[in-house]
Chain A
C-alpha cells in the first residue's frame, strides 16, 4: 500500500477531499501511541523551539504528514507483515549538548529503525558519532553545513570511517555556496561582502563561499568579511564597513532572526545591496521580521511553496490543513522531511526488516525509485566511500533552484527554473512506478 502513496495520481481535487480525514485520523493515532508492539520505530529530532524552530518543526511535520499517509494506508510492508510507523520525537533546542544527549539516548534503543532530523550542524557534530558508533541509520534533514558529512570522510591527516550509517537529505552547503557565487556572478556583481554568524554553520558557510569564489575563477572580489553573534540585533557597524568598501551584494550565511537584523540594518543605512545566501533566508522568522526589507533576497531552495505540480499541490494543501497554517514555516524543510521519510520507508520495505543495519544497506542500494514531492528519487545513495561524501548525499545541483523573497513569500528567483521543474514533473516516467503496486 505504500506504493499507492508513492504514485499519487494527478487528480488533485479528489485527493483534497480524501486527504483531510485521513491525515487527521492518523495524526491522532500516532499521538495516542495506539500502535504498540508491531511497529516500525522512527525517531524525529530537531529544534522545535528557539530561533531554528521554523526549520525543525516544518521538517518534523513534513515527516509526520508522510507517516500519517503511510499509516493510513496500513503501514509499511515489512517482510510478511504490514507494520505501522511509530514516531519518537525529541527536541534538541538547537543546542549541541542537548543533541549529544538525545543521540546517546537513541543509540541505546535496540529496536529503532532509523532517525531523521537535525537542523543545526553543531548538533550533528556533537551527536551523530554516538549513532554512527552503533551503526544506527540516520538521515540528516535538513542541516546543510558541510562539516556534518565531511567529518566522516578522508582528511589529509586521518582516514575517514570505512562504514557510515549517516546519510543526508538536504542541499548541502557545497551546492548552495556554488549557486550563491554563481548567482552573484550572473547578476554582474563584482564586489561582494561575505557576512556570517559565528556558529559552526556560519563559519563553514563562509569557507565554502570563499572556496567557491576561488573555484569559479575569482570573478568576485571580497571587499569585506563581517561576523556577528547569535542574538545580535544591531548590524550597523558590519554593514557600514561593507558599504564603505563598495560591496554590491551581501553573500551571507546565518539563521533567521540575525538575517532579518542584517536586512533591516541595510535598509536603515540606505544600502541597496541584495542578500544572497544559504537556504535559511527562506525561514519564516527571516521573512516576517525583515518585512519589506527582505524583498529581493535570494537563496537556494529545494522546494518552493507553489503548486506547480499536482503532487506539490497535494502536499502543500495537506500540510496547511493538517497543521492549520496558511504558509509552511519552512517549506524546504517540510518537503525534505516528507521525502526523506518516504525514502527511509522504502529502505525498510526493501530490507524486509526493521533492523537498522539492514535498513542502512538497503538505503545504499535503493532498487525502486521513490516519488517524492521534490523529485523522483532514483537510487539517491550509494555505498559509502570515505573519499567521496556525495555517496551519502541525496541532492545534486539540478534538484536545487534559486528562490527569492517577495512580499512575505518565497517565489522562484529565475523563471527558467519554474519551467524546468514543471517539465521535469511532466516528463517523469510514471510507468516504472506503477509496477510497484503489489
Chain B
C-alpha cells in the first residue's frame, strides 16, 4: 500500500518506542550492578511526571523544572533501593521483586491522593504543531522525545566510560566480588545505579507527558512494553533497547493500522514469546554461563 502511510505509522510508532526503550534502559541500569529490577519503575515515571507538573504549576521555567524533576526521580530511586532492595540483596533473597512492586503500589496510592485520579495536560514550551519531514508528519514534541531519550542515554553511557565513578559502576557490573576486593563499595554503586535509574524514569515521564497527559495510570501501559523491550533486547545492551524499542513501537502502530486497533499489542507479544523461546538472554544479550 501507500508508502507515505507506512512511513507515517512507522515513524510515529518508533518515536513512541523510544520511550519504551528509555524505561527499559532504567531496568538495565539497576540490573547491571545488582541483578535486581525495580518492578515499580512505571510508578517512578508517573510520580516524577506529577512532581514536574507541580513544579511547572508553581511557575518554574522549563529549564529549571527538568533538573528538579530529575533530582526528584533520583531521590525516589534511592528510596526504592533503601526500602526495598538493599535488605533483600543482603540476605540473598528474591524479596526485592515483591518489595519493589509494593513500593510502586504505595507510590500509586500516594499519587492518587495527592494529585487526584484525573488525566491532566502537561504544559511544555515545545510546540505540538506538526512539521513535515520527508513526507511524514511529526510534532516537535515527538522529536523532543527522540532527542531527550538518546541524549540522556548517551550521557549516562559517557559517564560510565569516562569517569572514575562510572568505571566503578562498570567494575561492579562485571564482577561484584572482585570489585569489592579492589576497594569499590558495591552498596554505594548499587545506590548510584538506582538513583540513575530513577532519574532516567523522570526523564521518560517529562518527555512523554506532553503527548499522553499525566495521570496515575499513565505508565501502566508503558511499563509492560518496556518490559518486553528489555527482555527481547537483553538486559545488558543499551544499544539493543533503542533498536528493539523503536522496532516494537513501529510494529505496534503498523499492526494497529493494518490489522485494526484491537490487534495493536499482539505482534509485540508474539515477538516476546518468540524471543524467550529462541534467545532467552535477549537478541543483544550475552549468553553467560551461570556458575552455581
Contacts and interface: CB of A to CB of B under 8 A. Distances in A.
Interface in A266-291: 267-270, 285, 288-289, 291
A226 B264 CA distance: 13
Please classify the interface of chain B as helix (H, G, I), strand (E, B), loop, or mixed, using the class held by over half of its residues.
mixed
A244 B5 contact: yes
B221 interface: yes
A264 B253 CA distance: 16
Given A236-B9, A268-B139, A269-B8, A49 B119 contact: no
B121 A257 contact: no
B262 A268 contact: no
Contacts of B56: none
Interface string B71-106: 000000000000000000000000000000000000
Nearest to A290: B121
Interface string A217-253: 0000000001111011110111011001000000000
Contacts of B118: 49-51, 53, 285
A289 B260 CA distance: 25
B12 interface: yes
Contacts of B12: 234, 236, 268
A227 B213 CA distance: 21
B117 A53 contact: yes
Contacts of A227: 260-262
A355 B178 CA distance: 81
A373 B2 CA distance: 53
B257 A232 contact: no
B5 A270 contact: no
B258 to A, nearest CB: 8
A201 B136 CA distance: 34
A257 B257 contact: no
A204 B139 CA distance: 34
Nearest to A329: B118
Given A269-B130, A270-B130, A49 B116 contact: yes
B211 interface: yes
B130 A237 contact: no
A234 B16 contact: yes
Interface residues of A, number: 30
B256 A289 contact: no
A268 B117 contact: no
A227 B12 CA distance: 19
A291 B121 contact: yes
A50 B117 contact: yes
A49 B9 contact: no
B217 interface: yes
B137 interface: yes
Interface residues of B, number: 32
Contacts, number: 77
A333 to B, nearest CB: 15
Contacts of A268: 12, 128, 130, 137-139
A231 B121 contact: no
A233 B137 contact: no
B57 interface: no
B212 interface: yes
A237 B119 contact: no
Nearest to B136: A269
A240 B217 contact: no
A232 B212 CA distance: 9
B139 A244 contact: no
Contacts of A50: 117-118
A240 B8 contact: yes
A50 B261 CA distance: 23
Nearest to B260: A227
A237 B257 contact: yes
B118 to A, nearest CB: 6
Nearest to A236: B12
Contacts of A240: 5, 8-9, 257
A391 B120 CA distance: 40
Contacts of B128: 264, 267-268, 291, 293
A228 B261 contact: yes
A229 B264 CA distance: 11
B103 to A, nearest CB: 23
Interface string B104-118: 000000000000111
A271 B9 CA distance: 15
B213 A234 contact: no
Interface string B46-62: 00000000000000000
Contacts of A233: 211-213
Given A240-B9, A269-B137, A234 B253 contact: yes
A315 to B, nearest CB: 24
Nearest to B1: A244
Interface string A124-152: 00000000000000000000000000000
Interface string B246-281: 000000010011001110100000000000000000
A289 B2 contact: no
A226 B5 contact: no
Given A227-B261, A236-B12, A237-B9, 13 more contacts: A227-B262, A233-B213, A234-B12, A236-B9, A237-B264, A238-B256, A240-B9, A244-B5, A257-B119, A257-B213, A268-B12, A268-B128, A269-B137
30 contacts: A49-B116, A49-B117, A50-B118, A51-B118, A51-B119, A53-B117, A53-B118, A226-B261, A227-B262, A229-B262, A231-B217, A232-B261, A234-B12, A234-B16, A237-B253, A237-B261, A237-B264, A238-B261, A240-B5, A240-B257, A244-B2, A257-B119, A260-B213, A267-B128, A268-B12, A268-B138, A268-B139, A269-B137, A270-B137, A289-B121
